[in-house]
Structure 1
Amino acid sequence: MSTFDSTKTRLQTLLNSIVTGEIQLPDFQRGWVWDDEHIRSLLVSIARAFPVGAIMLLEAGGDAKFKARPVEGVDPTQATLDKLKKLLLDGQQRLTSLTQVLIFKQPVQTRDSKKKLVQRYYYIDIETALSGPENYESAIISIDADRIQKENFGRDIKLDLSTPEKEYENFYFPCNQILNSDIWEEGLNNYDSSKFGRYMKFRAQVLNEFRSYDLPIIELNRNNKKEAVCLVFEKVNTGGEPLTVFELITASYAADNLNLRDEWFGNSHEGIEGIQAHLRKQRLLREVQPTEFLQGLTLLYTLEKRQQDLKAGKTGKQVTGVTAKREAVLSLPVDAFQKWKQPLVQGYWKAAKFLRQESFFSTGDLPYRTQLIPLAAVMALLSDRWLEPRVYEKIARWFWCGILGELYGGAVETRMALDIQQLIDWIEDGKEEPATVRDANFQPARLGSLRSRTSAAYKGVNALIQREGAKDFFWKSTIQDLDENDWEECRLDIHHIFPKSWCDKQGIPASRYNSILNKTPISYKANRMIGGKAPSEYLIQLQQHKNVQLDDAAMDALLTTHQIDPVTLRKDDFEGFMVTRQRMILAKIEAAMGKPVLMVDDSAFNDVVDEEE
């Protein structure tokens, strides 16, 4: 069964339908943006009977309900919703431009070549147009709102079209009279009947092209589903920025009187705090995007539907699939949003608390923002049960397997859907591990290749070292002991243990000394004291500093908290240090993932995986 029809419609008929409100825009359409050059080019194309592309319409009243608004410039008191018959999906810029130029009598609000806002009227130089279609680009002009064109820096008037009489005198035809020129023709005949013959030739040659111009129309019928309409719109919307899922759902929810923008961004005038502002009170949640939040809601909604279907005895394809894919998010009902939004907000807050306990403290620390979506959804379902040691241990294992197994990069909607089901089942019955736990694998040689700060495993290893209680070389405290104000003061960051300049002098390749094995989280004050010195030298200076004052045994104990072997470090034994640190970090990785890693030759390193720093 076809879900669309194609036909042709007269331009004037389309513009009249826009003015009366029979054709309106879905609210997710962005504003009219065409500039003066585009408008004049469009007018030339129609005057020459060139094709200007198809128009796509959607029959109103079906499943794809969107809040509608009139085309820009149309009187909203006239274009009311009760008159709406069709929504304009593709062709907004063209039809808005033509409505502004051909129908309205006020100047067109547009932009010049320098993107400056201007008000313009459009005219056709009749004599130039009569010289042939090849001259239409010169014949069709725009002029400022006062309809006077000046030269010599505004001192001299070049063209004055400020009154009908001036139009007749200069023989320039106003484009807002193209579709009905009766009044202008009568005025011209009264003003100078000698020009009327030339005008009639112009009307037959140019004006009749506009009046007989047909546009191809593709009309989607009302049986199309909302997600299909959104997908079609995105495919044809090549003239601007792609619309986000959030923008599309905002338009859909508006038809049900829910303002999604206010829900997310808040409304200060009405004293409404949005979800975004509430989440941003947590440092770790400051970059949560609205589309990610909607994905979390969709996971919760489809999981609930699946459970209901199974309870009702449904089988096979009758059972709702748990998903966070785009099509499912676009289909998220308003009542599901209302039901799950608060539990998910609380789930995000619990996720932030969990992450802090696992030694993640800012958005830049997070290996995968995508893994935060199923984590928050699971927390929303568990409420305070996540604090139970048995439950916490399973969540932590799943989380670290996702990071160190590097399983949450790229398109991960399928993994999210599996994880929320399997992690909850694992917590409830304790039988089968989630696929993310089973699939995760960490190759020991990977440690030698981790050099990029943007790598998920790189961030994970850094956080894992802090999780194990690493104490700063200068402040002698763990990051867990600091409050948020102290984080800024200490400015903990990951730095080289064997300094770069020292390594360069020893002929050690950058691919080796830039590895995560030769880095650890320390404060900027500690790093400044390290400088380019050998470890044996900077350790003594650190220990003797008035704010540190540590003997060898105490300093060695502090180094061990970083999974650093003090013996090889104090000997400036770079290769011995790299071997022992690999073994120590691998032991912590095994503990975090709850599974062994495949041990290989300690000297085996992959030198070409991550970009060097």
Structure 2
Amino acid sequence: MRDCHEGKLQLPDFQRGWVWDQDRIVDLLASVSEGFPVGALMTLEAAGEVAFAVNPIEGAPAASKPLEAYLLDGQQRMTSLYQSTSSRNAVKTQTAKNKPVKLHFYFDIRAALNPNVARRDAIVATPEDRIIREDFGRRIALDLSNEDAQFTALHFPIDRIFDAQIWIQAALTWVLQDMEARKDHMALINEFSIRVINNFTDYHVPVIALGKDTSRAAVCLVFEKVNTGGKPLDAFELVTAMYAGQTFRLRDDWKARRDRLAKQPVLANVEPVEFLQAISLLHTKSVRARAEAEGKEPPAISATRASLLQLPLSAYVAYAGMVEEGYIKAAKFLHGLKIFRARDLPYQTQLAPLAAILAELGETWEHDAVRKRLAQWYWCGVFGELYGSAIESRFALDIRDVPRWIAGGPLPQTVDRADFREERLRTLRSRLSAAYKGVHALLMRCGAEDFMSGQPFDQTVFFDENVDIHHIFPEAWCKQPAQGISPDIYNSIINKTPLSARTNRIIGGVAPSSYLSRLEKGGGQLPAIPADRLESILKSHEIDIARLRADEFTAFFDDRRARLLRLIEAAMGKDAVRETVAPPDPDDHYSDEEQEAEVQHVGEHEETI
């Protein structure tokens, strides 16, 4: 407690705020009062390889002594003990119902000495003014606001536990003022001192003390293992603390960059760890190239957690501006692919290698041949569904392979190994699928026009008209028992296409032949659309209008599947794997996330999925 008070033991500044509630504090105090173990602490000796910015234990004053150690594990216990036993201020905590409260804690001395009373039940919490009131505040049930009141009620203030003798001496003086009436009080106080207070003053918490020569990787691994409660610490928080030890405020720097990136809706969800990954790709690639030039064993190109934790501040400073510009270029590139919003990104994870590649390419990425190769790589990643797992190793391959390919080298592994299977189209039903969102974007990129307005989906139209993906054969029509169409089929991407919200409302839930007739005839404020123009619009969506006019769902479905497959093949620059046997079960290739999304939509009647 003294080390916490003096600042010799402090917290790395990425440790999250103190969060224990009243019940957990009471349980901790009860355990210590009976001499029960409360678990070991873990500390790291200061002045070693790892230097963190620090914060004092919450509630402690500014440090008065030099830092000696970081508290790696035990923040909640040490903060609870410090605030309740060593600070005269009320403990800021919360009730079991998450209501913020400020409390002082006391031992009811009689209850604490009663073997039939659980020790936690002998601990009393009072409001900040140390007075417990009842009857909506109209009656004082227990007043502990001064020492005389505490002596009379035999309630010991736990925040006096480490200077208890001063309180006990004052109690003795109080007893001597009326010895005859108060002699039993002194006997109980003395017994309480022996059986309870001494357990605090003699208590020893085991400490696992890591030496100052402990490596950065080992320290970060410790944090990952011991931080089992709440949100796990990510690499950005750890790097932030390490850079702070070099007086660089990474969090402030990132906030400014994030605000600039977020002006592009497609970049709204860029995470700081992803930004660090892009920097790490460029840095480790440069280090590898330098080692190769010097004839040394080249280290790996990497964007793993371990490589982020080894990322020197000098590398961040050198590459952060390039990577930020790479992300801005990525937004422009994605707009060209008709991907305008973060929610429509097939893979958020693919942004990091894309930004790193564009940062390295500089202005050459604007050349037509370069953009075409970048697009092929991008679509291969999307339709090959390659960025869902084991992504860090793929990032490293991408930053190595793609610039080399653009310069005339061999195919990148992402392009070479990407496959799209024909049967996958029928199982794409959820927005959580990258390939599902890929088809949505690909249709807009290939010139799809809104059924009603006839406008292509450029960025302005996309946002102004609230464009999303909707059913072609309306869901309400498909659900009719007479149609006999399975939801697994009519909810497939094959039966969906980009449309404005207004157009989707006009289509409604009727048969395609009915809404096509309505669009052609017009009426009210809806102008008529010539039949040949409507056919041209539907063709831009890879739809055969004749099958819609005839309400032939099966023929439409088979024809459009073939058309969409050709679009995907053109985007990937390679043939898809064709079906050679009977179509598989609809749940094949159906991820857990997609199944969960489908369950959430059971019973819904909206046209949008």
Aligned CA distance change for structure 1 residues 606 and 212 (closer, same or farther; 3 Å): same
Whole-angstrom distance in 2 between the partners of 1:459 and 1:66: 42
Aligned CA distance change for structure 1 residues 533 and 34 (closer, same or farther; 3 Å): closer
C-alpha deviation, 1:202, in angstroms: 2.2
Match of 1:11 in 2: none
Match of 1:12 in 2: none
Match of 1:582 in 2: 561
Match of 1:220 in 2: 210
The percentage of counterpart residues that share the same residue type is 43
Aligned CA distance change for structure 1 residues 521 and 240 (closer, same or farther; 3 Å): closer
Whole-angstrom distance in 2 between the partners of 1:540 and 1:155: 75
Aligned CA distance change for structure 1 residues 510 and 117 (closer, same or farther; 3 Å): closer
2:384 to 386, 399, 405: 405
Match of 1:4 in 2: none
Contact 2:5 2:63 in 1 (8 A): no
Contact 1:447 1:582 in 2 (8 A): yes
Query: What is the RMSD of the two structures over their aligned residues, measured on CA atoms?
Result: 2.1
Q: Does the alignment pair 1:95 with 2:95? A: no
Q: Does the alignment pair 1:424 with 2:403? A: yes
Whole-angstrom distance in 2 between the partners of 1:49 and 1:122: 18
Match of 2:492 in 1: 515
Whole-angstrom distance in 2 between the partners of 1:114 and 1:508: 49
Contact 1:448 1:605 in 2 (8 A): no
Query: What is the CA deviation profile of residues 225-275 of structure 1, one whole-angstrom value per residue up to 9, with x for unaligned ones?
Result: 22321221232123333222222222121111111221122xxxxxxxx11
Contact 1:579 1:602 in 2 (8 A): no
Match of 2:465 in 1: 490
Query: What is the CA deviation profile of residues 64-123 of structure 1, one whole-angstrom value per residue up to 9, with x for unaligned ones?
Result: 2110111112221525xxx10111111111112222222223333333344333333222
Q: Tell me, what secondary structure is at the counterpart of 1:228?
A: helix
Match of 1:595 in 2: 574
C-alpha deviation, 1:562, in angstroms: 1.1
Match of 1:162 in 2: 145
Q: Tell me, what secondary structure is at the counterpart of 1:178?
A: helix
Match of 1:234 in 2: 224
Aligned CA distance change for structure 1 residues 578 and 159 (closer, same or farther; 3 Å): closer
Q: Does the alignment pair 1:58 with 2:44? A: yes
2:155 to 145, 164, 172: 172
> Map of 1:445-460 to 2, 5 A cutoff?
445-460=423-438
Query: What is the CA deviation profile of residues 373-401 of structure 1, one whole-angstrom value per residue up to 9, with x for unaligned ones?
Result: 10011000011101112211211111010
Contact 2:111 2:117 in 1 (8 A): no
Whole-angstrom distance in 1 between the partners of 2:520 and 2:141: 84
Contact 2:31 2:37 in 1 (8 A): yes
The answer for unaligned runs of 5 or more in structure 1 is 1-14, 266-273
Query: What is the CA deviation profile of residues 274-331 of structure 1, one whole-angstrom value per residue up to 9, with x for unaligned ones?
Result: 111101111211111111111111111111111111111112xxx2211111111122
Whole-angstrom distance in 2 between the partners of 1:568 and 1:135: 78
C-alpha deviation, 1:135, in angstroms: 4.1
Match of 1:354 in 2: 333
The answer for unaligned runs of 5 or more in structure 2 is 177-182, 599-608
Match of 1:17 in 2: 3
Q: Does the alignment pair 1:475 with 2:453? A: yes
Match of 2:604 in 1: none
Q: Tell me, what secondary structure is at the counterpart of 1:324?
A: coil
Whole-angstrom distance in 1 between the partners of 2:33 and 2:246: 43
Contact 2:471 2:496 in 1 (8 A): yes
Contact 1:446 1:605 in 2 (8 A): no
Whole-angstrom distance in 2 between the partners of 1:548 and 1:438: 49
Match of 2:345 in 1: 366
Aligned CA distance change for structure 1 residues 133 and 310 (closer, same or farther; 3 Å): farther
Q: Does the alignment pair 1:343 with 2:322? A: yes
Q: Tell me, what secondary structure is at the counterpart of 1:84?
A: coil
C-alpha deviation, 1:44, in angstroms: 1.1
Contact 1:48 1:133 in 2 (8 A): no
Match of 2:519 in 1: 542
C-alpha deviation, 1:406, in angstroms: 0.9
C-alpha deviation, 1:605, in angstroms: 6.0
Match of 1:211 in 2: 201
Q: Tell me, what secondary structure is at the counterpart of 2:237?
A: helix
Look up the equivalent residue of 2:161 and give its one-letter code: I
2:237 to 223, 242, 247: 247
Contact 2:7 2:63 in 1 (8 A): no
Q: Does the alignment pair 1:443 with 2:421? A: yes
Match of 1:524 in 2: 501
C-alpha deviation, 1:433, in angstroms: 0.7
Whole-angstrom distance in 2 between the partners of 1:145 and 1:502: 65
Contact 1:448 1:606 in 2 (8 A): no
C-alpha deviation, 1:601, in angstroms: 5.5
Aligned CA distance change for structure 1 residues 531 and 601 (closer, same or farther; 3 Å): farther
Match of 2:601 in 1: none
Query: What is the CA deviation profile of residues 191-237 of structure 1, one whole-angstrom value per residue up to 9, with x for unaligned ones?
Result: 21434344322222211111211111111112222232122123212
Whole-angstrom distance in 2 between the partners of 1:87 and 1:592: 53
C-alpha deviation, 1:32, in angstroms: 1.9
Q: Does the alignment pair 1:567 with 2:546? A: yes
Number of residues paired by the alignment?
581
Match of 1:5 in 2: none
Aligned CA distance change for structure 1 residues 540 and 54 (closer, same or farther; 3 Å): same
Q: Does the alignment pair 1:118 with 2:101? A: yes
